[in-house]
Amino acid sequence: MKMIIGLAFAFWFFILWACKSLLSSDIPVTISAWDTIIFSFSYLVSTVVALIYVKFTHNGKMHIFLSIPTLLWGLSTAQVFTHQYHPYDTLMSVIGFIGSGVIMFFSIWKQRHARHGS
């Protein structure tokens, strides 16, 4: 069951990355403030739900499932800093990368803490 939930989270964060990529795929990039607000709220809620899952699940290993989406967010963030397409694109990429990174960090920390605390 934990594996299915982990895959579902990974798929959901991949979908959020794909939505952000679709929003910023126009040349020139035209992202509205409303698109950014909706994305940010969706990502914040998703991150909070994932953190709650990690907190209350014994040895869920969420970081294993989120490694690919976090890599995609990291590459996206590096790309927007390099090319400076649009401020909202940059904001969404940074939010995505930080959110995935926080979940991964907390998951790794909890797994190591549980292993050394037992």
Across the 118 residues of the chain, what is the mean pLDDT of every consecutive 10-residue run? Answer: 88 91 75 88 94 83 86 91 84 93 90 71
Residue type, 46: S
Q: Which two tokens stand for residue 30?
A: 């035209």
Whole-number pLDDT of residue 60? 66
Whole-number pLDDT of residue 74? 92
The residues, any chain, with a CB within 8 Å of residue 100's CB and separated by 6 or more, are 13, 47, 66, 69, 70, 73
Q: Which two tokens stand for residue 60?
A: 């869920």
What's the first-to-final CA gap in the chain, in angstroms?
23
Residue type, 33: A
